[in-house]
Amino acid sequence: MHTLLIVDPQNDFCDRRGTLFVPGAAEDMLRLASFVRAARRALAEIVITLDSHPSVAIERPTFWARGDGGPVAPFTQITHAQVVAGEYVPIDASLRPQVLAYLQALESQGRYKLMVWPVHCVIGAWGHNIHGAVLEAVGEWEFQVQRGAFKVLKGQNPLTEQYSAVRAEVPSPDDPSTQTNHELIDKCRPKSGLLLVAGEAASHCVAATLEHLLEHFSAEEIRRVVLLEDCMSPVSGFESHARACSERALAQGVRSLTSTQALAEISAN
């Protein structure tokens, strides 16, 4: 029996009306829904992560102003040096010391610089909801097994980014929700079967979650991880990020299959 990890299958990413629509995601979700229906008797566990934000947070234009008081546009990158220079300021000026400390810690890791994204996946809003086709297919699986999918909310702390469902980019020592989620790791750990990975976006939340999971898996467990390559897409302009993540994972022993290929494999076993 196998585990399916679905990263952030939400309307804001997967529906063309979403505020941060990922090109290709709508089709990804239809393929994923078909896969869930066809494979559901072979799935012991379905794990779903959900990007879950307040409307004002450090990676949103609602948090920032330019030094001249003007608004900050989505897809603006903000660095520690720019905030020191006064090019960008938090609207709540009292947060400036905390923001500077955060940016310094973030940039020292060498993984990301702060990106201002459109407001998306606000808890309670339509964009936070699971894409309808996937929700329906998962619901059928839940009826079959008589229990719910395991759902993980991430990104609720407004002062740290959290692409990965495993932990925030800069964990907060006083907020357990930003620290390593060992229950999620254990749920995803491929013991005798496969961990099948799908979701959005391949360049960011899938990439970061996968990278952090692999840090906690043995070499044998890593070889049981399969990327459903036709059930994920990158944010436009970040295609190289997705390719780099995939190449690193494949070098470690992860496999990449289409949903059709994966279904044939698990159906034969």
pLDDT tens-digit series, residues 212-268:
999 999 999 999 999 999 999 999 999 999 999 999 999 999 999 999 999 999 987
Same domain, 103 and 222: no
Same domain, 242 and 173: yes
Same domain, 234 and 104: no
Q: How many domains does the chain have?
A: 2
Give the pLDDT of residue 239. 95
Same domain, 155 and 243: yes
Same domain, 20 and 66: no
Q: What distance in Å separates the CA atoms of residue 174 and residue 194, rounded to the nearest whole number?
A: 35
Last residue of a domain, one of 101, 116, 131: 116
Give the pLDDT of residue 250. 97
Same domain, 136 and 150: yes
Give the pLDDT of residue 267. 85
Bridge partners for 45 per DSSP:
3
Among left, alpha and beta (phi > 0; psi -120 to 50; other), residue 132 is alpha
Same domain, 66 and 48: no
Tokens 């979403």 correspond to what residue? Answer: 18
Same domain, 133 and 169: yes
Enter the pTM of the model.
Answer: 0.96
Biggest CA-to-CA distance, the chain: 63
Task: Give the model confidence (pLDDT) of 117-129 as tens digits.
Answer: 999 999 999 999 9
Domain that holds residue 97: 61-116
